Amino acid sequence: MEPKAVHMTLGVLLGGLLALGVELILLLLGAMAISNGIVKQGAALQLTAAACVIGCLVGGRLACAWWPARRLLAGLAAGGVCFLLILAVGLLWGGELSLGLQALIELAGCLCGGAIAGLLCRGKNRRKKGGSRAR
């Protein structure tokens, strides 16, 4: 593997880990809000989806910073890594793999958050080579 590919892979892995950390913090805050009666108990799926989107947005931004080009792919990859980490933690915690509505919501949230990060970072570091164009 060439050093550039290692650098990009490390960026995706760190982005996925950061996304998982942000998600866990947001879910902890959401659980505290539910236990204090600020948020209804029926809003657990919405909190999960929001935590996935926001967490992967943050983690995807980190991954995009490590990639020189194709930042949408970097954001999506960070979201995918985060989802795989969620599945791994679920397997370690619960011992069984059940891919139901919850997993589908988490997958969609992770990929959407990563894609948003990639789209937001897409225009950065683009410089015009010939100066400004005359219109």
- Per-state percent for the chain, helix, strand, coil, to nearest 5: 75, 0, 25
Is the CB of residue 80 less than 8 Å from the CB of residue 111?
A: yes
pTM of full prediction above 0.85? no
Residues 6+ apart with CB under 8 A from 91: 97
Distance CA 60, CA 44 (A): 24
Question: Rounded mean pLDDT of the chain?
Answer: 87
| Residue 51: other Cβ atoms inside 10 A | 24
The string of pLDDT tens digits covering residues 100-122 is 888 899 999 999 999 999 999 87
* pLDDT > 70 in the chain, percent: 89
